[in-house]
């Protein structure tokens, strides 16, 4: 995992983009997670030096590799057994690689967790149905949507 301290400028850009976008269909958080999603994309893009695209299918392109960034908020540093998730309705996205990011709710810290190819993800991920309990969690969190999940420990550091 690569720990990053988001800058005020990055946070400001993410907030502006989130406000411009509004709430997407099928949003698990009713749009509240958009700012974290945009910030995750900014952090990964700056780290790998790609080109921002922000399409439905992918967020960044580097060396003709289409990358989609998946971001979750958190209240503590991520642990290797925590899940990286892709909602089941997103499995048809036309990307090559997923990167996963966790960002503290207060924006104080973020972690680029790593990533993997889309093929690797679905080969090794577990499908958890909406309403089932997250077994990787000690606080009995329930999945809010059908999601494919892979533990952080199964990611590659930098998959491209």
Radius of gyration of the chain measured on its C-alpha atoms: 15
Q: What is the pTM of this model?
A: 0.88
Q: Which residue has the tokens 């990964």?
A: 44
Over range 16-31, report the average pLDDT: 61
- CA–CA dist 41, 47 (Å, integer): 10
- Average pLDDT (28-54) is 85
Q: Residue 68 half-sphere exposure, CB side, CA atoms within 13 Å?
A: 20
What band does 3 get if pLDDT is binned at 50, 70 and 90?
Answer: very high
Would you state the pLDDT for residue 134? Answer: 79
DSSP string, 48-78: HT-EE---SS-SEEETTEEEEEEEEEESS--
Instruction: State yes or no: pLDDT of 23 exceeds 60.
Output: no
The contacts of residue 73 (CB under 8 Å, 6+ apart) are: 33, 36, 102, 103, 104, 105
Q: Mean of the per-residue pLDDT values for the chain?
A: 88
* pLDDT tens-digit readout, 75-105: 999 999 999 999 998 888 999 999 999 999 9
Residue 139 predicted with pLDDT over 80 = no
């Amino acid at each position: 995992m690569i720990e990053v301290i988001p800058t005020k400028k990055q946070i400001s850009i993410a907030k502006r983009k989130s406000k411009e976008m509004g709430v997407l269909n099928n949003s698990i958080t009713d749009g509240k997670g958009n700012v974290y999603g945009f910030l995750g994309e900014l952090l990964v893009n700056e780290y790998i030096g790609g080109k921002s695209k922000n399409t439905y299918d992918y967020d960044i392109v580097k060396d003709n590799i289409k990358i989609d960034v998946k971001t979750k908020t958190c209240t503590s540093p991520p642990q290797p057994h925590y899940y990286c998730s892709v909602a089941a309705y997103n499995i048809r996205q036309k990307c090559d690689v997923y990167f996963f990011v966790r960002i503290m709710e207060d924006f104080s810290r973020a972690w680029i967790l790593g990533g993997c190819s889309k093929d690797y993800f679905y080969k090794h991920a577990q499908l958890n149905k909406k309403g089932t309990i997250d077994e990787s969690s000690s606080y009995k969190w329930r999945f809010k949507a059908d999601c494919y999940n892979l533990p952080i420990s199964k990611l590659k550091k930098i998959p491209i």
